Structure 1
Amino acid sequence: MMADTLRVVVCGDDSVGKSSLITSLIKEQSVSSVLTILPPITISKADYTNSIEGADAKKNPRKGDNTPANRVILQHIPNKTVVVDTTSTDIVSLQKELKRADVIWLVYSDHYTYERISLHWMPMFRSMGVNLPIILCANKSDIIPKGTSIKTLNSDEFIPLINEFKEIEACVRCSAKTNYNVVEAFYLCQRAITHPISPIFDSKEGNLKPAAIAALKRVFFLCDKDQDGYLDYKEFSDLHVKCFERDSSSEEFDNIISSINAVIFPEAKASKKISEDGFILLNKMYAETGRYETVWGILRAFHYTNSLSLNDRFLFPQLDVNPNSSVELSPTGYRFLVDLFLKFDKDNDGGLNEEELNNLFIPTPGIPMLWQDSQFPASIVCNEEGYVTLQGWLAQWNLTTFLEHKTTLEYLAYLGFDDGASIKAIKVTKPRKRRQKQSKFYRQAVNDRNIFNCFILGAPKAGKSSLLELFLRGSYSDVYNPTIRPRLCVKDIELRGGKQCYLILEELGELEPAILSNQLRLDQCDVICYAYDSSDPESFQYLVDLRNKHSHALDEIPSIFVALKADLDKQQQRSDVQPENYTRDLFLNSPLHISSAWTTSLHELFIQLVDAAKAPSTATPGLETEPESNENENLKHIVMAGGALTIMTAVSIWIWRSSLQSSRA
């Protein structure tokens, strides 16, 4: 982020006109006599804006001043600029000011002081370790003999210095006496900080720098809405509005096309759109003609900093999340991700193949590390060809948002989400609270969450991995492969009543002891699925031992016990207590018996897991009954009272009708 105050230090040999330049800048007119050295002068942003407008009323002192970029550039100028005058005879004070400077305004006025630029001043700056942008100013242009070619003079004096010293951002010829180009020189000092040339253009090579090309290619990619490899007039005009706050006229667009085609297609058939190469060439033309602010206007609109990296505030907007809350996609986030999927599904087959997926992630650093750790795309639903479906695509982003919402925010920024701050694409749920009953802590019910995380615990070969495969694909392999690294999968499921939510199943692998000892990881877990092999007599004791070892940590987490492989012969468990008795002692439901052959039982298990996560009091180990909130209690009493009143009314009417019929008889 740029400082609120910019410090410009004016340097040069004595008598070159440093103080006169500063005075001319402030007074906006020639001054016959000035002090030998001026005190520091502060210029506000408003004062500078007025001086720019005043200069424009007289003439256009800056090349490209009529471009929309110059109307936007003032937004980036600091609120205050301090101009510091110096003298070459006081080396101590001079070096002190140079170390505090943001930019150096280096002045010369004749051949001798010109030679001193390369022989004295530039070596001195380098020996001090001062690595600042330098604006070179040739003062006293009013005394140049008539008939002298200013263009030739500038070429002879400026180009050798620019080629030798890359610190020199720009050169300008001015006159303090006639107030010629003084505002221009000050403007260049401002621009050296707000819109520097060095990160984007190599003056010696005459080309845009690789980092600038990479940034501009990303800009082009994001603006190419239909992904046809070209910017048409509508896409270019949208870019113009975003960067410069006004539409581009069709005439301006045609002129740009003509300029690009004159270089790229000098003889061949010209294109009527802007290609990626044409867009890069256009920005190179801007840089070559000194319109750096135009290039920066584009880059700034896409949140690039002076180092050509994306602004951290854009990638990682501040979001306060309560430790007991979770983060999910908002409707805006869903809409953006759906549109993104549809845009890159070029063949409209409902799946992103490897090429389409790679194209989608071009403007990013690549597939997120979290996705790689979760073995994407094995973590989601894919079609028969193994391509990422829209269902799986949204599920993976829900997984990412739940586990690492900062990754979601970062990648939404990379992918072009620019509807204000990217935090609009996510939402924070209400904090999950803890309650206590009879010295037993439990989690309060939640009603605004749609993503739930489930740990699957059980002995080796109990069928945990197969359960994950069945969850995703409805099938599994008979080949046993022990799980080493933790494994995740996520899928949307339909609950009773038709509401949908996302369930994350997590198998912990060899990291199980470490994860169960990590309170932060346990806080992320909404429900535990204790799985055992009902056909293996040794399987259930593993769960008993595990819970005894981690009883304090696990007793507050809602739990569901499940007997896997229920289609095989059921075996008596060699355990201190049988599963049904064990769960009864914990006030939990008996183990749910499921099998890969029983589709209904599988779906029932996943629904029960979500139900337990949504209403923890119904499945918390050791909690005998579900506490109800006062609101629910009151509602219950109202319903009961209303029901009783209805019954009493019906009975009264029946008695009245009976007595009436009797009297008539």
Structure 2
Amino acid sequence: MAARASASSGAAGNTVRIVVAGDAKTGKSSLIVTAAAESFPTNVPPVMPPTRLPEDLYPDRVPVTIVDTSSSPENRGRLVEDLKRADAVVLTYACDRPETLDRLSTYWLPELRRLEVKVPVIVVGCMLDKRGDQQPVSLEQVMSPIMQQFREIETCIECSAVNHIQIPEVFFYAQKAVLHPTAPLFDQEQQVLKPRCVRALKRIFILCDHDRDGALSDGELNDFQVKCFNAPLQPSEIVGVKRVVQEKLMEGVDDRGLTLTGFLFLHALFIEKGRLETTWTVLRKFGYNNEIRLRDDQLPPPIKRYPDQSVELTNEAVEFLKKIFYTYDVDCDGALRPAELEDLFSTAPENPWNEAPYVEAAEKNALGGLSLDGFLSLWALMTLLDPIRSVETLLYIGYGDDPLSAIRVTRRRRLDRKKQQTERTVYQCFVFGPKESGKSALLNSFIGRPFPEEYAPTTGDRYAVNIIDQTGGQKKTLVLREIPEEGVKEFLSRKDALAACDVAVFVHDSSLEPSWQKATEMLVDVASQGEATGNEVPCLIVAAKDDLDPFLTEIQDSTRVSQDMGIEAPIPLSTKLGDFSNIFHRVVKAAEHPHLSIPETSAGRTRKQYHRLIKNSLVVVSVGAAVTVVGLAAYRVYAARKSSSS
């Protein structure tokens, strides 16, 4: 693997913007003028205007714009603005004035952190010609403690504009730090490749290992070289590459070719020798950006949809995921244990399910393993909540078809209501209810968790997802989303809050009247919101904690409310006793019939009656008009006959 072609730009053809900052009279403007004019100027302005370096000055042929700055207090606002727009920052000090070097660690570098300017920094000692021989301290001795403290420093260099020493190199290193940054690839303290870099290179290795034998043969290595560097390797070069690896790492080469270990070793070697452009060329050829994620142009465009449309995986994607599941279920126990799941996601930047809301959303066995249903459920949840990330992750783990073939946008929910049926396979249920009503216990029971003896409040939105087996062998994925009591008002203040909801469930503690009253208020608020926005949703009432004695009028009150609003009577259940009254199947059934179980408020009923009255009035007017027209036509016929007979 050689690096005979220049790396492609991480700036995607845009200008690299380098901002030069530092104390007054440290040589900023002289540095810029000399780099642009290739000669030391006699007159240097206090602050240079933005200066463009020739495109062919450096191998990457990416234009460089250098922005000079003033350190005077009156220009502070402009300085901050320029620093925040920088791709890289060059910080200058004067080699003959040690106090300007001290200012880097006491002011300039802390200030960049305070402003959250997270770009590579090049430290430049200017006026090298003015430093006398009485200061023999090496640059490495001076800068090593500062570089240990401030890891954002990419390179340190000394130069002289007067004698034209290392002037072009200053901006070459700055441009290189932008196009080929070290930080995403290499941990300089540990001297190892960073995990995300390893994951990306592993994916690239697997994609190039066409025969899937765990090694790159000479032919596969040559194909890789042509793809990345547009030039084949000679047989002697392939032998040389493998010899270099084998001398340092025996397991890096076997009788089939270059192993993954050897492939990673080669990239670490290139980086240690300062050849970062080699690894960046490889990453960019395979679609990665500077954060070592797939670029936007590798992913589907933003999905255009109405708020009441959702996104689901296609059958092609589901079949691919089933194959992946069985491939990584190494012990064939029907579940992916944590280690197997980590291995599955080892070619993605990270395991996406190690974070909320996925980490606690699906059913796991005693060893923390995910069944196939649990695995597919989490994919359905991720596709529902973040479809582009779902597709991105599919690509990381080997989905080779058109990314758009992995997902589909469902029909609008309001159209489902009109047609009185839905084609969805994933339903989202919002679970409302006051504190301590049993919402969390309901979600826990859905994913097989035991009933908790102690109450633990839910502070934010929480999800639980599982697959429901329907009659006839059909499978539907149900997503329960818990809405905390304190968040309901803010949640419903959003116009399209209910657009993504297939069913709303209202849970109350059947032993406490205040719990029922709050749940009823939420039901009315949700029904009113649905009527006002056209996002009506089927609703179910759950009378939880059925193992406790109900308050005196619970059955009477709840039955009256459900009858008044035209929905099903409350469903009693006890998660503590494991008596669920088939609740999850009933939720799915309500979602499958989106025109039923929709509550009606008194205001909504009045509005409907008014519209019905107006409609009937129009019908009466229309009938009257028709009678008039018919009568007029009959009169004309009569008049015509009378005229002809006379």
Q: What TM-score does the superposition give when structure 2 sets the normalisation length?
A: 0.58
Question: What residue is the counterpart of 1:527 in the other structure?
Answer: 503
Question: What residue is the counterpart of 2:356 in the other structure?
Answer: 370
Superposed, which structure 2 residues align to 1:316-335 within 5 Å?
Answer: 322-330=306-314, 334=318
8 Å Cα contact 1:162/1:168 also seen in 2: no
Alpha-carbon distance between aligned partners in 2 of 1:608 and 1:246, rounded to the nearest angstrom: 63
Alpha-carbon distance between aligned partners in 2 of 1:585 and 1:83, rounded to the nearest angstrom: 71
User: Does 1:129 find its partner at 2:96?
Assistant: no
Question: What residue is the counterpart of 1:23 in the other structure?
Answer: 37
SS at match of 2:595: helix
Residues matched between the structures, number: 530
Structure-2 change in CA distance of 1:577 and 1:41 (3 Å) = closer
**1:169-200, Cα deviation, whole Å (9 max, x unpaired):** 276999999x9998777544421332245776
8 Å Cα contact 1:261/1:271 also seen in 2: no
Alpha-carbon distance between aligned partners in 1 of 2:423 and 2:108, rounded to the nearest angstrom: 57
Give the alignment partner of residue 537 of structure 2, picking from 527, 536, 557: 557
Superposed, which structure 2 residues align to 1:351-370 within 5 Å?
Answer: 351-362=335-346, 363-364=349-350, 367-370=353-356
Alpha-carbon distance between aligned partners in 1 of 2:305 and 2:524, rounded to the nearest angstrom: 26
8 Å Cα contact 1:452/1:610 also seen in 2: yes
SS at match of 1:616: coil
Superposed, which structure 2 residues align to 1:212-227 within 5 Å?
Answer: 212-223=193-204, 225=206
Of structures 1 and 2, the larger Rg is shown by 1
8 Å Cα contact 1:8/1:189 also seen in 2: no
Question: What residue is the counterpart of 1:620 in the other structure?
Answer: 598
Question: What residue is the counterpart of 1:399 in the other structure?
Answer: 381
Alpha-carbon distance between aligned partners in 2 of 1:176 and 1:459, rounded to the nearest angstrom: 76
The one-letter amino acid of 1:490's match is: V
**1:608-658, Cα deviation, whole Å (9 max, x unpaired):** 53343244322213499xx9xxxxxxxxxxxxxxxxxxxxxxxxxxxxxxx
Which stretch of the first structure deviates more once superposed, 514-523 or 211-220? 514-523
Tell me, which stretches of 5 or more residues in structure 2 are unaligned?
1-9, 113-120, 130-136, 148-152, 528-535, 609-646
**1:414-436, Cα deviation, whole Å (9 max, x unpaired):** x557979988855554554499x
SS at match of 1:501: strand
Question: What residue is the counterpart of 2:372 in the other structure?
Answer: 390
**1:76-116, Cα deviation, whole Å (9 max, x unpaired):** x3x45348799xxx9x99xx999878454989xxxxxxx94
Alpha-carbon distance between aligned partners in 2 of 1:465 and 1:84, rounded to the nearest angstrom: 58
User: Does 1:451 find its partner at 2:426?
Assistant: yes
Alpha-carbon distance between aligned partners in 2 of 1:421 and 1:165, rounded to the nearest angstrom: 48
Structure-2 change in CA distance of 1:563 and 1:80 (3 Å) = closer
SS at match of 1:502: strand
8 Å Cα contact 1:453/1:505 also seen in 2: yes
8 Å Cα contact 2:507/2:543 also seen in 1: yes
Alpha-carbon distance between aligned partners in 1 of 2:107 and 2:408, rounded to the nearest angstrom: 51
The one-letter amino acid of 1:225's match is: I
8 Å Cα contact 2:205/2:260 also seen in 1: no
8 Å Cα contact 1:361/1:367 also seen in 2: no
Alpha-carbon distance between aligned partners in 2 of 1:481 and 1:163, rounded to the nearest angstrom: 56
**1:303-355, Cα deviation, whole Å (9 max, x unpaired):** 7776x675997999966665434343355754664454344222344321232
Structure-2 change in CA distance of 1:424 and 1:587 (3 Å) = same
Alpha-carbon distance between aligned partners in 2 of 1:84 and 1:501, rounded to the nearest angstrom: 61
User: Does 1:291 find its partner at 2:264?
Assistant: no
Structure-2 change in CA distance of 1:164 and 1:498 (3 Å) = closer
Question: What residue is the counterpart of 1:501 in the other structure?
Answer: 476
Question: What residue is the counterpart of 2:55 in the other structure?
Answer: 48
Quote the sequence identity (%). 22
The one-letter amino acid of 2:341's match is: L
Superposed, which structure 2 residues align to 1:510-521 within 5 Å?
Answer: 511=484, 518-519=491-492
Alpha-carbon distance between aligned partners in 2 of 1:498 and 1:225, rounded to the nearest angstrom: 37
8 Å Cα contact 1:230/1:275 also seen in 2: yes
Deviation at 1:260, TM superposition (A): 1.6
8 Å Cα contact 1:19/1:85 also seen in 2: no
8 Å Cα contact 2:317/2:406 also seen in 1: yes
The one-letter amino acid of 2:379's match is: W
Alpha-carbon distance between aligned partners in 2 of 1:246 and 1:118, rounded to the nearest angstrom: 49
8 Å Cα contact 2:432/2:519 also seen in 1: no
The one-letter amino acid of 1:297's match is: T
Question: What residue is the counterpart of 1:657 in the other structure?
Answer: none
SS at match of 2:194: helix
Give the alignment partner of residue 341 of structure 1, picking from 325, 328, 334: 325
User: Does 1:260 find its partner at 2:240?
Assistant: no
Alpha-carbon distance between aligned partners in 2 of 1:497 and 1:296, rounded to the nearest angstrom: 53
The one-letter amino acid of 2:55's match is: Y
8 Å Cα contact 2:321/2:376 also seen in 1: yes
8 Å Cα contact 1:169/1:196 also seen in 2: no
**1:352-398, Cα deviation, whole Å (9 max, x unpaired):** 123212333455167433356645434xxx6x987322222011221
Q: What TM-score does the superposition give when structure 1 sets the normalisation length?
A: 0.56
8 Å Cα contact 1:317/1:421 also seen in 2: no
Alpha-carbon distance between aligned partners in 1 of 2:34 and 2:555, rounded to the nearest angstrom: 97
Deviation at 1:251, TM superposition (A): 5.6
Which stretch of the first structure deviates more once superposed, 538-547 or 321-330? 538-547
Alpha-carbon distance between aligned partners in 1 of 2:439 and 2:398, rounded to the nearest angstrom: 38
Alpha-carbon distance between aligned partners in 2 of 1:587 and 1:210, rounded to the nearest angstrom: 68
Structure-2 change in CA distance of 1:606 and 1:575 (3 Å) = closer
Alpha-carbon distance between aligned partners in 2 of 1:406 and 1:421, rounded to the nearest angstrom: 13
8 Å Cα contact 1:432/1:444 also seen in 2: no
**1:582-607, Cα deviation, whole Å (9 max, x unpaired):** 766554567899999xxxx988x756
Alpha-carbon distance between aligned partners in 2 of 1:275 and 1:213, rounded to the nearest angstrom: 19
SS at match of 1:617: coil
Alpha-carbon distance between aligned partners in 2 of 1:395 and 1:118, rounded to the nearest angstrom: 64
Alpha-carbon distance between aligned partners in 1 of 2:418 and 2:232, rounded to the nearest angstrom: 55
Structure-2 change in CA distance of 1:188 and 1:396 (3 Å) = closer
Alpha-carbon distance between aligned partners in 1 of 2:180 and 2:341, rounded to the nearest angstrom: 35
RMSD value, Cα: 6.5
Structure-2 change in CA distance of 1:585 and 1:157 (3 Å) = closer
Superposed, which structure 2 residues align to 1:130-279 within 5 Å?
Answer: 132-134=121-123, 166=147, 169=155, 187-197=172-182, 212-223=193-204, 225=206, 231-233=215-217, 244=229, 252-265=237-250, 273-274=257-258, 278-279=262-263
The one-letter amino acid of 1:387's match is: G
Alpha-carbon distance between aligned partners in 1 of 2:283 and 2:351, rounded to the nearest angstrom: 18
Deviation at 1:501, TM superposition (A): 3.0
Question: What residue is the counterpart of 2:65 in the other structure?
Answer: 81
8 Å Cα contact 2:16/2:178 also seen in 1: no
Structure-2 change in CA distance of 1:591 and 1:82 (3 Å) = closer
Alpha-carbon distance between aligned partners in 2 of 1:210 and 1:495, rounded to the nearest angstrom: 55
SS at match of 1:324: coil
Alpha-carbon distance between aligned partners in 2 of 1:291 and 1:480, rounded to the nearest angstrom: 56
Structure-2 change in CA distance of 1:398 and 1:139 (3 Å) = same
Tell me, which stretches of 5 or more residues in structure 1 are unaligned?
25-30, 53-69, 108-114, 141-155, 436-441, 628-665
SS at match of 1:609: helix
Alpha-carbon distance between aligned partners in 2 of 1:17 and 1:617, rounded to the nearest angstrom: 73
Deviation at 1:294, TM superposition (A): 1.5
Alpha-carbon distance between aligned partners in 2 of 1:548 and 1:85, rounded to the nearest angstrom: 63
The one-letter amino acid of 1:610's match is: V
